[in-house]
Chain A
Amino acid sequence: MATGKVFKYGDNVDTDVIIPARYLNAPDPAELAKHCMEDIDTAYVKRVRPGDIMVGGANFGCGSSREHAPIAIRASGASCVIAASFARIFYRNAINIGFPILECPEAAAAINDGDTVSVDFDTGVITDETTGQTFRASALPPFIGRIVENGGLLPYLKSKLDKEAE
C-alpha cells in the first residue's frame, strides 16, 4: 500500500529524461536520484516526497536499456509508477529489481498532476483521493508475480538454482 502526491508526465517519457546519460558514470542510486527527471522537470527532485507516485502516458520508459532509470525513480522516493503502457525493457527492469509498476490506461488518463492517490499493490486498486475515482490495474501474470514476491529476479533465480542443486 502506498499513498502520495502525483507527478504527472505525458506519453513516451524516455529513459534519457528519466536519467540523462551524462550521469550514468556514477551509478550509485542516491547520485542518480539527484538528477531524476531533470531534463523535463527540474522541480521534481526538490518536490518529491517518499511515497509519491509518478504517472505517465503511453510507452513510459522508452529508449535505452539503462536499469539506472527505475533505480533513479525508486531512489528519488517515488513508491511506484502508473502508466497507460510501459516500454518493454523498462517493464522488465522494474519487475527485475522489484519496483512496483501498474499498467492502467484509465487511471493514467484521469489522474491529475498534484492529486493524492493511493495504491493497493495486492489488489491493483488505485484510488484518486482528490477526485474519489477508483481504478483497477491489470494483474501481474503469476510467473512475474513470483519474481516480485522473491524480491526480484536474482533472488528468484538463486532460490530456483539452489532447489535444483538439492
Chain B
Amino acid sequence: MGMTMTQKILAAHAGVESVRAGDLIEAKLDIVLGNDVTTPVAIDVFEKAGFTRVFDREKIVITLDHYTPCKDIKSAQLCARARNFAVAQEIRHFYDVGTVGIEHALLPEQGIVGPGDCIIGADSHTCTYGALGAFSTGVGSTDMAAGMASGENWFKVPSAIKVTLTGKLQPYVSGKDVILHLIGLIGVDGALYKSLEFTGPGVAALSMDDRFTISNMAIEAGGKNGIFPVDEKTLEYIRGRFNRPYTVYEADPDAEYEREVVIDLNTLKPTVALPHLPSNTKTVDEAAGIPINQVVIGSCTNGRISDLRVAAEIIRGRRVADGVRCIVIPATQEVYLQCVEEGLVRTFIEAGCAVSTPTCGPCLGGHMGCMAEGERAVATTNRNFVGRMGHVKSEVILASPAVAAASAVRGCVASPESL
C-alpha cells in the first residue's frame, strides 16, 4: 500500500521501508526547537534524568521570543536559564534579543529547516515548516528534552486528510482565509491525530508566505502536521538560505486518505473566526460592523513581509480609527528591516499604529497588548480562546492582515473592499 508524504518522511527517519497509519515508531530528528517558555522546563527534565550533553549542538534551536524583551523579572529568570544552557552547550542556533524573531518565521528565513526534514519543536505551531515539505510537529518540554538528549523521539504514524486546492485566490483573500475556512469546515478536532496533506492544482498559485500561514494553523484543526508538496516556489525560497542536503518526498498515487476535502480558492471570501474557537468562522461580510478596541498585526501566523505589505497598502494614507489601538509586530529582524527600508514603518506610524520589535507578546496575552475586561480585538494571530489575549472577559476575532488593517481603519470588523 502507498504512503502519504508524511508517512514517507517518517519511514525514512525511522530507517524502515514503509510505515502504516497507527504504527509506533522511533525516528531520527533533524532539528529540535524550544522557546523561552518551554526550554527551561525541558532543561529541568534533561538534567534531572542525568543527561549532561546535547546529542548535536548544530541541530538544536533555542529562540527567546515569547516574553522578550523580558516583560518582568520572572521571564528574565526563564530567559537566563535558557541562555546559560545554550551558551554552556554551545548551541549553534541560539537567538536572543537583537537577533531573535518569532520562531516559526525565523527558522525558515534563516535556512535552518528544509524539505524532507523531521522536526520537533516545543511549541504547538512548529507545524509551520510543513510548508517546506518537511514533517514538523509541536511537542512538549519532555519531548524536547528527549530530542536534545538522543536526537530521536517516538511518533504514532498519522492517518491523513487530503486537502485538494483548486483555482486561485481573489484579491485580499490569503492563506489565512484558506486555513480559517478549512478549520470552520472540519472543526477544531477535525484533524485530531492526523496529518493534513495539501495538494492539487491550487497549490502552485499560493505564495510561500500563504503556505506558511496555512501549515501554521494545522494544529488549530487538531492536526499533527500540515504538509505541502515541494515545487519551484519552495526551491526558490530555500535557494541561498538552506545549505544542508535534502530529499524531496512525494505522496504515492495509492496513498491512503481517511477523507478528502476540496477547496475552490476562486470562491473563498475573506474569513474571520469569532470568539472563542478558531472553528467559529464567518465571512467578513457576515461579521462586519462588530466594534473593536484593538488590532494586532503580526505573530508566527501572519508577521511575514507579504502580510505587512498588504496591511500597509490598506492603511497607507488613512488613519487608525479613534478608540482603536493598532499594534504591528514584524515577525523577525529581517522583516522589520524590510519594513523600514520599504517605508512600511513610516506608513504604519503615520496612520497611528504602534510598531514593535519582534515578539510573540500579545498573541498569548504575554505582553505588548494585553486587553482589559470587555475589550475586543481583531488579530492576525492563531487562537481566540477564552482569555487568550488578556482579561478572561476580553475577546479575539481572528482574521487576515488585510481584514485586520481594514478593521483598524474602520474601528469595527470590516472588509478591505468596504474602504
Contact = CB atoms under 8 A, between A and B. Distances in A.
Q: Do A and B come from one complex?
A: yes
Interface of A: 12, 14, 16-17, 20-22, 24-27, 39-40, 58-59, 62-68, 71, 85, 87-89, 92-93, 96-97, 141, 143-144, 147, 152-155, 157-158, 161
B139 A154 contact: no
A65 B189 contact: no
Interface stretch (B41-49, B168-176, B411-419): B41-49
A87 B194 CA distance: 11
B189 A12 contact: yes
B124 A161 contact: no
Contacts of B150: 157, 161
A72 B396 CA distance: 25
A153 B188 contact: no
Contact of A62 (B40, B74, B126, B222): B222
Interface string B210-229: 00000000010010100000
Contacts of A40: 386
B74 A26 contact: yes
A64 B365 CA distance: 13
B67 interface: yes
Given A154-B146, A161-B150, A39 B141 contact: no
A25 B385 contact: no
18 contacts: A17-B386, A20-B387, A21-B366, A22-B365, A24-B37, A25-B71, A59-B222, A65-B123, A65-B126, A66-B37, A67-B38, A87-B192, A144-B24, A154-B146, A157-B150, A158-B51, A158-B149, A161-B150
Given A65-B122, A71-B41, A153-B154, 11 more contacts: A16-B383, A21-B364, A21-B388, A25-B67, A66-B38, A85-B192, A88-B192, A93-B142, A96-B146, A144-B24, A158-B149
B349 interface: no
B164 interface: no
B358 interface: no
A63 B222 contact: no
B185 to A, nearest CB: 16
A93 to B, nearest CB: 4
A58 B121 CA distance: 25
B138 interface: yes
A24 B387 CA distance: 14
B142 A25 contact: no
B78 interface: yes
B324 interface: no
B166 interface: no
Given A67-B38, A96-B140, A96-B142, A154 B124 contact: no
B395 interface: no
Interface in B277-299: 277
| 8 residue pairs, one from A and one from B, having the closest CB atoms | A67-B140, A93-B140, A154-B49, A25-B74, A96-B142, A59-B189, A21-B364, A65-B124
Interface of B: 24, 37-38, 40-41, 45-46, 48-51, 66-67, 71-72, 74-75, 78, 121-124, 126, 138-143, 145-146, 149-150, 154, 188-189, 192-193, 219, 222, 224, 277, 364-366, 370, 383, 385-388, 392
Contacts of A64: 123-124, 364, 383
B38 A16 contact: no
A36 B192 CA distance: 24
A152 B142 contact: yes
Contact of B143 (A39, A85, A153): A153
Contact of A143 (B154, B219, B366): B154
A153 B46 CA distance: 11
Which of B66, B140, B150, B385 lies at the interface centre, i.e. has the most chain A CB atoms within 10 A of its CB? B140
B139 A27 contact: no
B189 A85 contact: yes
B75 A25 contact: yes
Which of A25, A63, A97, A141 lies at the interface centre, i.e. has the most chain B CB atoms within 10 A of its CB? A25
B190 to A, nearest CB: 10
A17 B387 contact: yes
A154 B48 CA distance: 9
Given A26-B74, A62-B188, A66-B37, A92 B139 contact: yes
A86 B48 CA distance: 27
Contacts of A152: 142
A24 B142 CA distance: 16
A152 B139 CA distance: 15
A87 B193 CA distance: 8
A153 B146 contact: yes
A25 B387 CA distance: 16
B277 A154 contact: no
A141 B146 contact: no
Nearest to B44: A27
